Chains A and B, each alone.
Chain A
Amino acid sequence: NAGVTQTPKFQVLKTGQSMTLQCAQDMNHNSMYWYRQDPGMGLRLIYYSASEGTTDKGEVPNGYNVSRLNKREFSLRLESAAPSQTSVYFCASSELPGQGKTQYFGPGTRLLVL
């Protein structure tokens, strides 16, 4: 099993460009999450999907949209990138939402917005 995979690994964008970060998991998990990690800030939840067909906002959703394409895939879209969105983005999945279930993380996407 590959676990959680993310593409791309690195990306450089200019302000105003758009892009979609892809995430897929092969563990048959119901719940998926998008986080961003900035120096000194820790991981912050952007959006999550408790189950296929549902999505909810996290702590920092502004400037992002998500799509739960199917049970395996959860994408994050930046419609008009801003320098403040320079960050490392992690996708994660868990068997079920909450109940102390472990979240498994992908390797991350490093995004630089100029």
Chain B
Amino acid sequence: RKEVEQDPGPFNVPEGATVAFNCTYSNSASQSFFWYRQDCRKEPKLLMSVYSSGNEDGRFTAQLNRASQYISLLIRDSKLSDSATYLCVVAFDRGSTLGRLYFGRGTQLTVWP
């Protein structure tokens, strides 16, 4: 069983749409949570960290539910430039796993005009 599971999509939405991605993780000891973005044939880049109380960055809102071991990312008013693969990332910062990130397989988003 993978540590982090995501719906691979693809999600195809028109400009201006709202789209949500979900992610589940298996290790209840997980301590840090992130969404990374990866453009085609490029490196992953941090989009935002995910905090227990939920957090927002412009059009992007991330939520964490520790009880259900569930993370979400909501994108409002989608832009063409949002087209990318979104990676759900979890870290268990204890002992031998200190510093290790566990990546989901990614959810592909295409925003069309």
Residues in chain A within 8 A of chain B (CB atoms)? 31, 33, 35, 40-45, 48, 50, 56, 58, 90, 94, 96-103, 105-108
Enumerate chain A residues within 8 angstroms of B105, measured Cβ to Cβ. 40-42
- Are A45 and B101 touching (Cβ within 8 A)? yes
Complex CA distance for A25 and B100, rounded to whole angstroms: 18
Complex CA distance for A100 and B64, rounded to whole angstroms: 15
With A45-B100, A100-B49 known as contacts, the answer to whether A107 contacts B43 (CB < 8 A) is yes
- Are B43 and A43 touching (Cβ within 8 A)? no
Complex CA distance for A43 and B105, rounded to whole angstroms: 7
A-B contact pairs, 22 of them (CB 8 A): A40-B8, A43-B44, A43-B101, A44-B103, A45-B101, A58-B100, A90-B43, A90-B44, A94-B99, A98-B32, A98-B91, A98-B93, A98-B98, A99-B93, A100-B34, A100-B49, A100-B91, A102-B34, A103-B46, A103-B101, A105-B45, A106-B43
Residue with the greatest number of chain A CB neighbours at <10 A, chosen from B43, B100, B105, B106: B43
Q: Tally chain B residues at the interface, Cβ within 8 Å.
A: 24
Residues in chain B within 8 A of chain A (CB atoms)? 2, 4, 8, 31-32, 34, 42-46, 49, 87, 91, 93, 96, 98-101, 103-106
Which B-chain residue is minimally distant from A49 (CB atoms)? B99
Residue with the greatest number of chain B CB neighbours at <10 A, chosen from A40, A43, A45: A43
